[in-house]
Amino acid sequence: MFLMRVSMPDRPGALGAVASAVGLVGCDIKAIEIVESLDGHGIDDFMLEIPTGVLPDTVVSACQEVSGVEVLWISRHYDSGTLQSDLETLEQMTRDPEHAAEVLVDSAPSVFHCQWSVLVDRADSPSISYATPMAPDLDATVLASIGDLGGAGSAEMPAGWVPAWSDTALAWAPVGTERSILVGRTGGPVWLASEIARLRHLSALAS
C-alpha cells in the first residue's frame, strides 16, 4: 500500500481527473481524504494499491499531467490501508476514557497517516510510557533535543537523529499537563498547520 499526497486546484472535476489518471496506470484507490483546502488549492491524501511492475514515479507522472496538480509526496505506507476519521477516534476514546490517551496513540498512524506514535511522560526526565510497534527507541536525551513538547508543534529531524533512522517529520501536542503525544513520518511529508491543529484538539480531548 502507498500513501500519496497531492496538491490540486480547488475546482470541480480536479479530484476526478486525478482519480482517472491513477486508474489509467493500473492502480486502485482504496481511500481519499481531504487534508486541507486553502487559497484556491486543496491537499488530498490518496491510499493506493500499486500493482507489481508499476513504479511510483509512473503514478506521479500520470497525476502531474493533470493541469495544476502537483504530487507532494508518495511512499509505501505500512498501516492497514484504511484512513480513520477524527470522529471514529473520538468515539473510541469516549468508550474507554481512562485510556483515552493510549487509544489516541494507537489510532494516530491511521488518523494522521504516519508510521508511529508515542505517549511521552514529561514529568521529571521525559520518557516513553506507551508506543506503537514501529516507534523508535527514544531516550530522555533524544526527547529533550526535539523541542518543547509542552505545547503543540512540529520539527523536521535529519537522518541519524536516532541511530540508523532516516529523516523524520515530527509533530506533537500536550495531553494534559504532564504528557504529550508525539507522532512521526519517516521521510515526510511535513506536517501542515491544519494537521497539528487536529492533533492538538484530539490530544486535549484525551487528557
* CATH number of the domain encompassing residue 69: 3.30.70.260
Task: State how far the Cα of 19 lies from the Cα of 14, in Å rounded to an integer.
Answer: 9
Q: For the chain, how many structural domains are there in total?
A: 2
Residue 173 maps to a domain: yes
> What are the pLDDT digits (tens) for 47-60?
999 999 999 999 99
Residue 163 has pLDDT above 90, yes or no: yes
Same domain for 115 and 184, yes or no, is yes
What CA–CA distances, in Å, run from 131 to 35, 43, 124? 25, 29, 19
* Strand order through the sheet with 28-38: 28-38, 41-49, 2-9, 70-76
Final residue before a domain boundary, out of 37, 54, 76? 76
The pLDDT value given to residue 75:
86
Out of 45-54, 81-90, 96-105, 140-149, pick the least confident: 81-90
Same domain for 101 and 200, yes or no, is yes
Q: What is the CA radius of gyration of the chain?
A: 18
Domain assignment of residue 133, given as a range: 86-206
Mean pLDDT of 56-66: 96
Mean pLDDT of 183-187: 93
The pLDDT value given to residue 187:
87
Confidence of residue 66 (pLDDT cuts 50, 70, 90): very high
Same domain for 32 and 125, yes or no, is no
Confidence of residue 79 (pLDDT cuts 50, 70, 90): low
Same domain for 135 and 184, yes or no, is yes
Within 10 angstroms of residue 136's Cβ, the number of other Cβ atoms is 19
Final residue before a domain boundary, out of 76, 95, 130? 76
Confidence of residue 86 (pLDDT cuts 50, 70, 90): confident
Same domain for 132 and 107, yes or no, is yes
Burial 183-195, CB ≥16 within 10 A → b, else e: bbbbeebebbeeb
| CATH number of the structural domain spanning residue 178 | 3.30.450.40
Share of the chain above pLDDT 90, in %: 76
Tell the burial category of 25 from Cβ atoms under 10 Å away from its Cβ (0-12, 13-18, 19+): middle
Task: State how far the Cα of 158 lies from the Cα of 144, in Å rounded to an integer.
Answer: 15
**Nearest in space to 198 (alpha carbons), one of 82, 106, 87:** 87
Residue 80 has pLDDT above 70, yes or no: no
Residue 117 has pLDDT above 80, yes or no: yes
Out of 33-37, 43-47, 152-156, pick the least confident: 33-37
Same domain for 108 and 42, yes or no, is no
Confidence of residue 67 (pLDDT cuts 50, 70, 90): very high
pTM of the full predicted structure?
0.82
The pLDDT value given to residue 37:
87
